[in-house]
Amino acid sequence: MRASALLAILFLSATPTLAEETVHLRVMTFNIWYGGVQVSQAEVIEILKASDADIIGLQEPDGQTAALAAAAGYPYVDLRRHIISRFPLFDPKLGERIETGQTVYPLAGLDSDAPQVWAMVAPGKVVAVGNLHLTSDPYGPDLLRDGATVEEALQGETDTRLAEITPYAAGMEPLIKAGTPVIVTGDFNSPSHLDYTEAAIGLRPAMIAAVPWPVSLRMLAAGFTDSFRAAHPDPVARPGLTYAAGFPWPVTRDGESLDRIDFIYTANATVDASEIWGEPGNPDVDKGFAPWPSDHRAVITDLTVTPVDAPAMVAIEPRLVPEGGTFVARGFLPGDAIWGVRIVPRGGDPAKDTITSVEGMEPTYNRAFRFSTLGLAPGPWDAVLIDEAGTEQARTRFSVLAQGGKPSLTITTPAVKAGEPLSVTWTGAPGFKFDWIGVYAAGDPNLYNYLAFAYTGATLDGSMELTPDLYYQVLDPGDYELRLMADDHYVTLATAPFTVTE
């Protein structure tokens, strides 16, 4: 083995074992309600621990995913999908979105052809995992409850959530057709056609008919199985309601629609069991906790899968590295091949632009190496996985944040005419799935008063044009500011002023 002088001596290694043909996985989906702090984040952590899940998809983590993973004992985190795992996670592409322009909500921060992350559940073997959150309003069952026809409710569903899930499901379909086990967790904000059956009419106020809810139909058309309904086929005997929770059973808020909207969808997998966790005393809850800390119940499914051969993969942890700190490079190369990792400037050629490297690694399951940022200037970098000949096999992106540095926003044209696009760049963003940039009146203290917004694509350092179609209305002449915000929440990370002229 040879390594550059800049490589820290520490390395981590897991001893390889023979992979069984099948692997048993326990998977959880949990909307934790705005970062898990609405009731008790400590209770959220205890539930994550108690779940004994191998892989957990979180919704509404509000930038807390890594902290929750550490507190609950999960070593691997994907901040672009809000997945925590006992198994190593590898991005299938560059570790950040490379497609340009805005996209549908569940694909925010992701490329349309790579909604999944690879979870290496056995040596050299992977499954594909996705996690999503669909738009909440207008909510179909509320429309039915309030007198809308089934056709009107379905049109609203088609215009919102079906438009979101269609490209997401399309991105997973090639994997499913290839025989890859695929798992998608999420808060779909949409019921299932498997629940709104003739037998269930009248069970709840919105159940006025058998309703072919299009989101669940689209997932099944893609090749997915609704894991809870596979384990509990009768929606009357076992409704499996996941919303709303957190209130003494059977008391609910007046007018609240009760439904099963949190799902674990699986493909090329066998469902062994599925449970609902929530508040105690609810006969539809398999395991209760007091206080239950979310307005959603959690779903846990036990699966048996036959994982597929892993591709060449490389990951950097963390993706945003403080100057003077260290980071871990984790790599895998198929075929018992010798491999290495070279650190190059963004887009650099590993044959001539390498700053530091580790090379000549024997094939070892999940081997990782800790690098120092010594010699790496603040800014964007790439980690390149190479084979024994030095040929690039995979690449991922990361950034070094200047010592004492903070995220920054820069507007290319700080004075624009009404209706013109506004160009902005940023550095040092956390890279969460739903990081966003909002347009505000200058000095407005109300963080909810944004006049336009756009997602950053989960990029650490990036740029975009805020085009007129993103604004709710044409800005009047005056003073405004852009704010870099964290993870679909209202935490301001950086600001930049601009003026709109006549």
pLDDT, one tens digit per residue, over 471-498 is 888 899 999 999 999 999 999 999 999 9
Identify the band that residue 18 occupies on the pLDDT scale cut at 50, 70 and 90. Answer: very low
**386 near 393, Cβ under 8 Å?**
yes
List, by residue range, all CATH 3.60.10.10 domains of the chain: 27-306
Which residues of the chain does CATH 2.60.40.2840 include?
408-501
Q: Domain 408-501, what fold?
A: Immunoglobulin-like (2.60.40)
Question: Over the stretch 82-137, which tens digit does the pLDDT of each residue have?
Answer: 999 999 999 999 999 999 989 999 999 999 999 999 999 999 999 999 999 999 99
Helices H / strands E in the chain, number of each:
7, 32
pLDDT tens-place string over residues 410-452: 998 888 888 888 999 999 999 999 999 999 999 999 999 999 9
Return the percentage of the chain with pLDDT > 90, whole number: 82
Which pLDDT score is estimated for 245? 82
**Tokens standing for residue 52:** 């004994």
pLDDT, mean of residues 265-281: 97
The predicted pLDDT at position 6 comes to: 33
- Helix ranges, 31-130 (H): 41-51, 65-72
Of 92-96, 312-316, 334-338, least confident by mean pLDDT is 334-338
Q: Model pTM? A: 0.92
Determine the topology of domain 27-306 in CATH.
Deoxyribonuclease I; Chain A (3.60.10)
The fold for domain 2-15+310-401 equals Immunoglobulin-like (2.60.40)
Asked if residue 336 has pLDDT above 50, the reply is yes
Q: Is the pLDDT of residue 227 over 60?
A: yes
CA–CA separation, 217 and 193 (whole Å): 7
**Weakest-pLDDT range from 18-32, 222-236, 334-348:** 18-32
- The confidence score (pLDDT) of residue 248 equals 53
Q: Where in the chain is the domain with CATH 2.60.40.1930?
A: 2-15+310-401
| Per-residue pLDDT at 250 exceeds 60 | no
- Across residues 10-36, what is the average pLDDT? 72
- pLDDT, residue 244, reads 86
Non-local CB neighbours of 202 within 8 Å, separated by 6+ positions = none
* Residue 140 main-chain phi, psi, to 5 deg: -55, -50
Which pLDDT score, from 0 to 100, does residue 368 have? 87
Question: pLDDT (tens digit, 9 = 90+) per residue, 185-223?
Answer: 999 999 999 999 999 999 988 899 999 999 999 999 999
Token code pair at residue 36: 């898990």
